[in-house]
């Protein structure tokens, strides 16, 4: 199967390259596997409906820092990130399984806090926790959530499917979760150097909330259904718009033009980005974990979408396969690079 003769550093592949490498050796063979590796969730035919299956894990020290991620929020967020992948297929979540790797550093009360967050998310998204697995972990806490959901054959939406001239739409606002993380990391550093100083996070409430307590856009999925709009392609924003755009482009064999002045950025995100010496558009394009939905729709839906407060048309698909341009207010064009694919490259630096 894998017949590499020499050692290959993961950093040379990147996360996306690694997944593609694995996927190339696991082409689905069963007739009921409708879609395997490569989308936000796998799709399985079950009688006359489509079952969705996805999984996400969070590792201490990689995805979260317990000095500023409260356990309850962490439990909630672990469920959100998985439910969000079901939404990205235009599907509805049903049940979850939770795998936990923990050490005796944690008390029962701490684990109860984590599960209080999971329970809150179960109630919010109408999902049942139906199982999981628990094991000892020698290094840090690990939470893995698997979500089982469903979609209709007529409305299921994949990462592929965008056509040239389709409108590119993003929900909510972007870049906030990333700037929230920058604030939390900065305040942690200040606290470690000056423990007598209490962090004042009130000024940053919105973006810190975006980082600590994101929501999956089940409301948007319901709204699209009500409006009878079926996106031509869709993905959720976990790695940042830039990275997700490359996914929609690669799967749909299109390019995209994005208009900088259309990017929906909350004023608090703008203020804090500037305070950090960052261009707010860069934060909006490359910041991850917003769990908004990025999708394309046929131009014919323009009138329906343009006035919806929670959806913003930020650009359109083009025929220029693999070209992702950011058009500024003055008409200049810059290439949008996908930083979210570089996880392993950062780790190996």
Residues that bind Mg ion (CB under 5 A): 40, 85, 236
- 142 contact, one of ligand ADP, Mg ion, none, CB 5-8 Å limit per kind: none
User: Which residues make beta-bridge pairs with 171?
Assistant: 311
> What is the DSSP code string of 15-29?
HHHHHHHHHHT----
Among 144, 232, 238, 269, binds ligand ADP (CB under 6 A): 238
Number of Cβ within 10 Å of residue 3's Cβ equals 4
Smallest separation (angstroms) from ligand ADP to the CB of 238: 4
Site string for ligand ADP, 23-42 (x = CB under 6 A): --------------xxxx--
Smallest separation (angstroms) from ligand ADP to the CB of 236: 6
Q: Judged by CB, which is closer to Mg ion: 74, or 147? A: 147
* CB burial of residue 216 (10 Å; 0-12, 13-18, 19+): buried
Among 14, 44, 56, 245, binds ligand ADP (CB under 6 A): 56
User: Which residues make beta-bridge pairs with 98?
Assistant: 132, 145
Smallest separation (angstroms) from ligand ADP to the CB of 160: 12
Pair type for strands 333-335 and 324-327:
antiparallel
With the C-alpha atoms ordered 29, 30, 31, 35, is the resulting torsion angle positive or negative?
negative
| 316 φ/ψ angles, rounded to the nearest 5 degrees | -155, 160
Smallest separation (angstroms) from ligand ADP to the CB of 169: 18
Smallest separation (angstroms) from Mg ion to the CB of 271: 29
Strand 324-327's sheet: what is its strand order? 233-236, 293-297, 167-171, 311-318, 255-259, 324-327, 333-335
HSE of 302 in the Cβ direction (CA atoms, 13 Å)? 8
Q: Judged by CB, which is closer to ligand ADP: 187, or 244? A: 244
- 38 contact, one of Mg ion, ligand ADP, none, CB 5-8 Å limit per kind: ligand ADP
- 289 contact, one of Mg ion, ligand ADP, none, CB 5-8 Å limit per kind: none
Among 22, 62, 222, 321, binds ligand ADP (CB under 6 A): 22
- Chain residues 167-186 in contact with ligand ADP, contact rule CB under 6 A: none
Q: Which of 137, 92, 85, 93 lies closest to 111 in space, CA to CA?
A: 137
Q: Judged by CB, which is closer to ligand ADP: 23, or 227? A: 23
- Confirm or reject binding of residue 292 to ligand ADP (CB under 6 A): no
DSSP state, residue 64: B
| 215 φ/ψ angles, rounded to the nearest 5 degrees | -125, 145
Q: Judged by CB, which is closer to ligand ADP: 180, or 288? A: 288
- 56 contact, one of Mg ion, ligand ADP, none, CB 5-8 Å limit per kind: ligand ADP
Site residues, ligand ADP (CB under 6 A): 19, 22, 37-40, 56, 85, 238
């Amino acid at each position: 199967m894998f017949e590499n003769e020499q050692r290959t550093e993961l950093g040379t592949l990147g996360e996306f390259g690694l997944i593609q490498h694995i996927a190339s050796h696991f082409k689905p063979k069963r007739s009921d596997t409708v879609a395997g590796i490569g989308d936000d969730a796998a799709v399985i035919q079950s009688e006359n409906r489509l079952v969705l299956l996805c999984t996400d894990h969070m590792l201490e020290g990689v995805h979260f820092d317990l000095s500023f991620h409260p356990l309850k929020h962490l439990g909630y967020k672990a469920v959100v990130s998985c439910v969000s992948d079901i939404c990205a297929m235009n599907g509805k979540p049903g049940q979850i399984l939770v795998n936990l790797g923990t050490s005796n550093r944690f008390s029962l009360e701490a684990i109860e806090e984590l599960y209080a967050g999971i329970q809150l998310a179960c109630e919010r998204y109408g999902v049942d926790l139906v199982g999981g697995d628990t094991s000892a972990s020698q290094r840090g806490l690990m939470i893995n959530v698997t979500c089982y959901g469903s979609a209709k054959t007529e409305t299921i939406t994949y990462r592929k499917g965008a056509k040239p001239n389709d409108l590119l739409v993003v929900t909510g606002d972007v870049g906030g979760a990333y700037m929230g993380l920058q604030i939390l990391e900065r305040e942690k550093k200040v606290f470690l150097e000056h423990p007598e100083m209490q962090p004042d996070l009130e000024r940053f409430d919105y973006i810190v909330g975006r980082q600590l307590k994101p929501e999956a856009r089940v409301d948007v999925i319901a709204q699209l259904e009500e409006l009878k709009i079926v996106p031509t392609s869709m993905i959720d924003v976990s790695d940042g718009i830039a990275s997700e755009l490359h996914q929609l482009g690669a799967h749909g064999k299109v390019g995209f033009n994005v208009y900088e002045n259309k990017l929906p950025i909350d004023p608090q995100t703008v203020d804090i980005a500037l305070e950090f010496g960052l261009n707010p558009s860069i934060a909006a394009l490359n910041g991850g974990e917003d769990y908004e939905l990025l999708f394309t729709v046929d131009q014919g839906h323009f009138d329906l979408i343009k006035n919806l407060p929670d959806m913003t048309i930020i650009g359109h698909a083009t025929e220029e396969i693999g070209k992702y341009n950011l058009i500024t207010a003055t008409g200049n064009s810059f290439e949008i690079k996908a930083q979210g694919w570089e996880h392993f490259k950062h780790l190996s630096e």
